[in-house]
Amino acid sequence: MTSTPTTRSTGTALTGHSIIAGESVPGTGGTTQGYNPATNEPLEPAYSLIENEQLVRATAAAEEAFASFSTLDPETHAAFLERIADNIEAVKDELVARAMTETGLPEARLTGETGRTTGQLRLFARVVRQGDHRGVRVDPAQPERTPMPRADIRQRRIPLGPVAVFGASNFPLAFSTAGGDTASALAAGCPVVFKAHNAHPGTGEIVGRAIADAAAELGLHPGVFSLVYGPGASIGQALAADPRIRAIGFTGSRGAGTSLMATAAARPEPIPVYAEMSSINPVYFFDGALAGDQDSVDALAASFVGSLTGSSGQLCTAPGLVFVPAGASGDRFAAAVSRHLAEKAGQTMLTAGIAQSWTAGVERLSSQEGVRAVGQGTDGTTQNAPAPVVYGTDAQTFGANEVLHEEIFGAASLFIRYGSLDELIASTRRMEGQLTATLHLTEADHAAAAPLIPELERKVGRILANAWPTGVEVGHAMVHGGPFPATSDSRTTSVGTVAIERFLRPVAYQDLPEALLPAPVRQSNPWHLNRRVDGDLVLAERAGE
């Protein structure tokens, strides 16, 4: 197997090869290509696929890098994340152009996604410098305590080990090579082996080089990051089974996610899988929200259609289920949605396969008894650009038919007409776990909405009011998660700074001499970390404060 060093990520021609521990490695398992979904034309270069034997090189390098990377001082660690962001911004024009060609997504969307990618890297750099994620706790010794003395006990959270991350189809940047899972795993101190998504391989290579270059520029072990191309099923399963991999981050289909979960659970030493998989994101309209004049109802309808059709509906938080009151106000809203939807043309979907799956899902939905058309747009002018659609049914039919609960990935939604709060609550209890739930209401609706809140808390990760679930803020308080099948672990989030906690575990040190304690828990506190001492928060003094 031959390999060559990667070059500085400033407009260099694509190689079509994996990047393993800083080197460009040709695969020996055949090739794949990206396609322009607007034309179905193949894109150059073809990408060579590694085989399982070659994958071991990446996981072994990650294991070798773990010792030094997991103990990196906060300043160097944070500088690494910032350098990745700088390198991505240096190739932004090239990156956005390639991503547009590979995904059919518009320039404005991808430019914004580039900013989100670099922004979350810099946010995690702040987290690393500040250090609270290390969770330092100190219970000082109490030798005079009776009837039993207390030992000196110190706790911190340490990185799990190398992490396998799988790129998402619908976010080629923010949920992909340097996206949230990679950024949070690297911020936790875990090397990453990234499985590139074969639908946007060139985009992945450009970002992968930016990360590999950052590691080289700061003198880090090159095994801190590898980017591999391979058949999704075989390489994905090999990653999940590899004993060097200690956790998995995944965004994708329910079938693929549960398959990785099964493999990870069947290992001699099982590992956690943090998978984001399926969500239809219910939206609840209350009477007061639809009681305004025609202009206000039209505005609501237009904003709904915009949320549904943005990025061709290929967002994990797209509003796929809408509860609308039965009666005149609901009729008026549905008619307004129909009018606005008729003005919308389909947008190019990410791949021909995704467009075909969307078509099959819509045909399955529309063929169900009791389901009727509410509105439809027109087909787009490119390949793989089907017309957006909305269908409708009633709460009783929804409760009795599991097909109506299935996600259709793309611009399709189902209106549920309800007649009472009891029907809303019953329908909510019937649903699977979701990423979001949205309430449209006025102050007059608060009493009616209050009993729904505890039901939603058991079903979703984020509850919104008078907004739309599409558009996920990256910050400290955000939760992008939810009960199964929205995610595989409802205790976590894949967006926001709390995401770092997925890749850490606690370790306690009892009566260890100061010289043997790791830096975060030493009495001298050389990293100037905040800590809890006997349960009380003690803020560290930092230079410049």
Residues 6+ apart with CB under 8 A from 435: 276, 279, 281, 316, 317, 460, 461, 462, 469, 480, 481, 482, 486, 487
Q: Which two tokens stand for residue 519?
A: 């830096």
What's the rounded Cα separation, in Å, for the pair 307 and 299? 12
User: Side by side, which strands form the sheet with 531-533?
Assistant: 504-510, 153-159, 137-139, 531-533, 536-538
Place of tokens 């700061």: 218
Burial of 463: CB neighbours in 10 Å, binned 0-12, 13-18, 19+: middle
Q: Would you call 205 a catalytic residue per the annotation?
A: no
Q: Is 457 a catalytic residue?
A: no
Alpha carbon dihedral 484, 486, 490, 494, in 10-degree steps, equals: 150
Both structure tokens of 276: 């984001």
Pairing of strands 434-440, 460-465: parallel
Task: State how far the Cα of 71 lies from the Cα of 472, in Å rounded to an integer.
Answer: 32
Nearest 5°: the CA angle 388, 391, 394 is 160
Q: What are phi and psi of 441, to 5 degrees?
A: -160, 165
**Token pair 């672990």 in the structure block, residue:** 489
Catalytic residue among 23, 276, 407, 423: 276
159 vs 149: CA distance, rounded Å: 32
Q: How many CB atoms lie within 10 A of CB 218?
A: 16
Catalytic residue among 190, 316, 407, 432: 316
Residues recognised as catalytic: 276, 316
